[in-house]
Amino acid sequence: MSLFFTTIQLYHDALRATGRSLVRGWLVILAVIVFTVIMWFAGTVARPLGMVGGFVMGAVNALLIGATLSLIEQAIKGMRGITFRDALDSMGHYFWDVISVGFVLWIPTMLLDSSLRANPDSQFLVTACLLLVFILLNPAPEVIYLTRHDSPLDVLKRSYDFVLENWIEWFLPMALVLAPLGLSLFFKLSSRLGRGAGLDFIQLLLVPFTVLTAWLAELGISAELSGGMALLLTPPLTVGMLLFRGHLFVALTSTSRRQRTYHSNFHDSAR
């Protein structure tokens, strides 16, 4: 019971901090909308270019993901509101971190895809591998902008260590949101996110959009209406999700589970 109440307090504090960051960083929502338009335009231009277009899209993705993480970092750590100048200055931040981690993951992902094309019966194995990547490297975005790291392999190692230490507190909010929608949606999302460790800009938006659409359908809202509502709500939900993850990551890395439980018990006894 002590662990339960400590965890509830952890989420309560993270949600309050997320609200404060949203007030300071509401401009990040507009930036995400602009970045989405840029990504769509880049895709239109790069699609006919074949392999060259793929490299262009990879560079644009790294640029936009890095800028987004930089703005989220400012909203979490900063004491003032984010300005249009901050949005412009964020371009180029964490670019090489995203490129490097993406390259390290690209090789095994390419091998998995080759295995699937050679043997369609390996679908289960590919899905299982992507699910493992999704779980073990889930906090990679937060590791990039909230910790000091030496290399892309260090990012992966720190993500792995963090998950081993904090997997209950880190994944419980996701489980509570997805559980009523069934396991099929979870596996669908994990197979997508596992390919980029949360560092693919389109997938970053696709996750809240997919979850929103599923929840609206669960509530009995028509497909036409739910699609429009999901499009409208996806940018603020994406920013809120990233802020909550960032604050939760900071809280989990700054204290251990034992320290949080002791701190909660101490305050309860003091009352």
Q: Could you read off the pLDDT of 195-204 as tens digits, one per residue?
A: 666 788 988 8
Rounded to whole angstroms, how far apart are CA atoms 187 and 193?
Answer: 10
What's the pLDDT score for residue 5? 80
Between vectors from CA 224 to CA 220 and to CA 227, what angle results, nearest 5°? 90
What's the pLDDT score for residue 198? 73
Q: Could you read off the pLDDT of 229-247 as tens digits, one per residue?
A: 888 999 999 999 999 999 9
- First-to-last CA distance in the chain? 18
Q: Could you read off the pLDDT of 251-269 as tens digits, one per residue?
A: 999 877 676 665 655 455 4
Question: How many Cα neighbours within 13 Å face the side chain of 165?
Answer: 16
What's the predicted TM-score (pTM) here?
Answer: 0.88
- Residue 62 contacts by C-beta under 8 Å, 6 or more apart in sequence? 95, 96, 98, 99, 102, 199
Residue (of 94, 57, 256) closest to 169 by Cα position? 256
Place of tokens 């644009």: 60
Ranges of residues in the chain with a pLDDT under 50 are 266, 269-271
DSSP state of 255: S
The rounded Cα 262 to chain-centroid distance in angstroms is: 30
